[in-house]
């Protein structure tokens, strides 16, 4: 039987995450940030989207969302809102359908919600707990299955998702005497390891975790690293092959990952270094980024960090850095209905993007003279203690 280290060697991962020069594949795209520093433009929502809808989620005793919201999904015509203890499910018009609340210690229950995901094929929900189990339920809370993570010494599993019928993926970190060794593990329903991806770079002296973010796009999983010397977004295919997908070029603005003062620069507001900030969102034709520009001069108004939004066109390979359409508001100018500035909170499999506003914030923003009649009409029917309003944008 192969050892875990032999599995790593057998898939020749050093070709992807080692120090060898990157060989660009035909489907790779260079995201040239360095060339765009000092540029920027206001981007209209109509350039990338056909439609925007505002969906107030029905508010009644059984549907009330009273915990901190972790995730929002829109799949199979249903809106899923995940908080600290349960999952509320609504139809596409915001009407309440059901709640998944199986909190407990039983074999069909989850002890907590570390992260959750929705299967785009069947709409089932998978919930991953600190206990190391991944439980699957249908939209009515009926138990489907339970999978235990592999027993690997010293590994912390995070962001665990179901990839296909018998493949599960998890971001991991394993601290050893040699530093932090693993970043992603694939395993089956019997907890048998199918693939281990090594850490992309050895910064053991800094003792920093390098846990990748996993983003589902079509039939692939994007692997996105932040705060680590990794300039490439890789994709894991259903047959467990790794592909280069997108390559960042930061040029002279790249973070000095190998310098002893890296941690200091990471938290700096004055250095001339750029890094990713927040999640990467993807639609059929576009990638959406937030970059931390730190001390680099931009038009950014006063806020905690100097954040600049960027949109990358996957068709023509063009990166556009975005100016703020409204003072202090990041995102797209909503010229479709003159509503709020839009920036995606999450993505969906059917080429939709989502955002969300607490009811009290929606009401406050709707009071603005520039808000559309549609927004004002919705706000007039809301109470500040109502459930949130989900914004659904249909992409071109």
Q: Transcribe 128-181 into DSSP letters.
A: E-TTSEEEEE-TT--EEEEEEPP--TTEEEEEEEEEETTEEEEEEEEEETTEE-
- For 260-277, write each residue's pLDDT tens digit: 787 888 888 899 999 999
Work out the percent of the chain whose per-residue pLDDT is above 90. Answer: 64
Structural domain boundaries, residue 159: 39-395
d(CA 376, CA 76) in angstroms, rounded, equals: 29
pLDDT score of 13 more than 70 = no
d(CA 46, CA 182) in angstroms, rounded, equals: 42
Average pLDDT, the chain: 87
49: in domain: yes
pLDDT score of 23 more than 60 = no
Per-residue pLDDT band at 20 (split at 50, 70, 90): very low
Number of domains in the chain: 1
Per-residue pLDDT band at 201 (split at 50, 70, 90): low
Q: What integer pLDDT is reported at residue 78 of this predicted model?
A: 98
33: in domain: no
- Per the rule left: phi > 0, alpha: psi between -120 and 50, beta: everything else, 213 is beta
For the CA atoms of the chain, what is the radius of gyration?
22
* Cα-to-chain-centroid distance, residue 317: 21
Exposure on the CB side of residue 172, measured as CA atoms within 13 A:
26
- Per the rule left: phi > 0, alpha: psi between -120 and 50, beta: everything else, 365 is alpha
Average pLDDT for 165-190: 81
d(CA 226, CA 199) in angstroms, rounded, equals: 12
Per-residue pLDDT band at 226 (split at 50, 70, 90): confident
Closest CA to 153 of 3, 10, 1: 3
114: in domain: yes
Strand 29-32: give its sheet, edge to edge.
29-32, 242-249, 232-236, 220-224, 213-217
128: in domain: yes
Cβ-proximal residues to 118 (8 Å cutoff; 6+ apart), any chain: 73, 75, 80, 124, 125, 126
Unique residue bearing structure tokens 């360095």: 34
Q: What is the DSSP string of 19-71?
A: SSPP---TT-EEEESGGGTT--B--BGGGTEEEEEEEEPP-SGGG---S---E
Q: Which of 40-49, 115-124, 194-203 has the lowest mean pLDDT?
A: 194-203
Q: Which of 79-83, 169-173, 224-228, 252-256 has the lowest mean pLDDT?
A: 224-228
Whether the CB-CB separation of 134 and 146 falls below 8 Å is answered with: yes
- For 325-373, write each residue's pLDDT tens digit: 988 899 999 999 988 999 999 999 999 999 999 999 999 999 876 778 8
The reported pTM is: 0.88
8: in domain: no
14: in domain: no
Average pLDDT for 61-69: 90
pLDDT score of 196 more than 60 = yes
pLDDT score of 14 more than 90 = no
Average pLDDT for 72-86: 96
pLDDT score of 8 more than 50 = no
200: in domain: yes
d(CA 86, CA 69) in angstroms, rounded, equals: 10
Q: What integer pLDDT is reported at residue 7 of this predicted model?
A: 38
Q: What integer pLDDT is reported at residue 157 of this predicted model?
A: 85
Work out the percent of the chain whose per-residue pLDDT is above 70. Answer: 87
Question: Coil, strand or helix: which one is 102?
Answer: coil
Average pLDDT for 78-96: 97
Residue 360 dihedral angles phi and psi, to the nearest 5°: -65, -35
- Per the rule left: phi > 0, alpha: psi between -120 and 50, beta: everything else, 154 is left
CATH of the domain at 253: 2.120.10.30
d(CA 363, CA 215) in angstroms, rounded, equals: 32
Higher-confidence residue of 2 and 327: namely: 327
238: in domain: yes
Measuring CA to CA, how many Å separate 48 from each of 52, 98, 284, 289, 308?
11, 33, 10, 15, 18
Query: What is the sign of the dihedral through the CA atoms of 155, 160, 164 and 165?
Result: positive
Going by their DSSP bridges, the two strands 352-357 and 242-249 should be labelled as unpaired
d(CA 345, CA 354) in angstroms, rounded, equals: 6
d(CA 8, CA 184) in angstroms, rounded, equals: 11
Biggest CA-to-CA distance, the chain: 68
């Amino acid at each position: 039987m192969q050892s875990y280290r032999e599995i790593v060697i057998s898939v020749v991962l050093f070709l992807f995450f080692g120090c060898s020069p990157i060989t660009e594949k035909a489907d790779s795209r260079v995201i040239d940030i360095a060339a765009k520093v000092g540029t920027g433009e206001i981007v209209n929502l109509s350039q990338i989207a056909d439609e925007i809808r505002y969906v107030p989620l029905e508010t009644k005793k059984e549907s009330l969302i009273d915990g901190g919201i972790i995730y929002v999904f829109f799949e199979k015509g249903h809106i899923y809102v995940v908080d600290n203890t349960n999952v509320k499910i609504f139809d596409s018009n915001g009407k309440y359908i059901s709640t998944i609340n199986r909190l407990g210690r039983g074999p069909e229950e989850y002890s907590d919600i570390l992260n959750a995901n929705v299967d785009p094929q069947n709409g089932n929900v998978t919930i991953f707990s600190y206990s190391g189990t991944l439980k699957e339920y249908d939209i009515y809370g009926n138990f489907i299955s339970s999978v235990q993570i592999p027993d690997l010494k010293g590994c912390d599993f995070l962001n665990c998702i179901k990839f296909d019928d018998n493949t599960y993926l998890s971001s991991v970190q394993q601290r050893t005497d040699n530093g932090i060794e693993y970043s992603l593990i694939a395993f089956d329903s019997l907890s048998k390891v199918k693939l281990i991806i090594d850490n992309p770079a050895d910064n053991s002296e800094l003792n920093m975790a390098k846990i990748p973010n996993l983003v589902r796009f079509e039939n692939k999983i994007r692997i996105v690293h932040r705060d680590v010397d990794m300039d490439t977004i890789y994709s894991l295919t259903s047959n467990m092959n790794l592909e280069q997908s997108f390559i960042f070029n930061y040029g002279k603005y790249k973070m000095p990952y190998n310098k002893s003062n890296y941690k200091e620069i990471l938290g700096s507001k004055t250095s001339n270094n750029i890094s990713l900030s927040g999640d990467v969102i993807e639609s059929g034709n576009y990638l959406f980024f937030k970059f931390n520009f730190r001390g680099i001069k931009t038009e950014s108004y006063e806020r905690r960090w100097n954040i600049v939004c960027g949109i990358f066109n996957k068709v023509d390979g063009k990166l556009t850095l975005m100016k703020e359409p409204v003072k202090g508001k990041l995102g797209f100018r909503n010229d479709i209905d003159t509503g709020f500035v839009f920036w995606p909170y999450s993505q969906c499999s059917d080429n939709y993007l989502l955002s969300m506003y607490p009811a009290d914030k929606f009401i406050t923003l709707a009071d603005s003279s520039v808000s559309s009649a549609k927004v004002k009409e919705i706000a007039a029917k809301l109470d500040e203690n109502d459930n949130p309003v989900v914004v659904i944008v249909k992409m071109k």
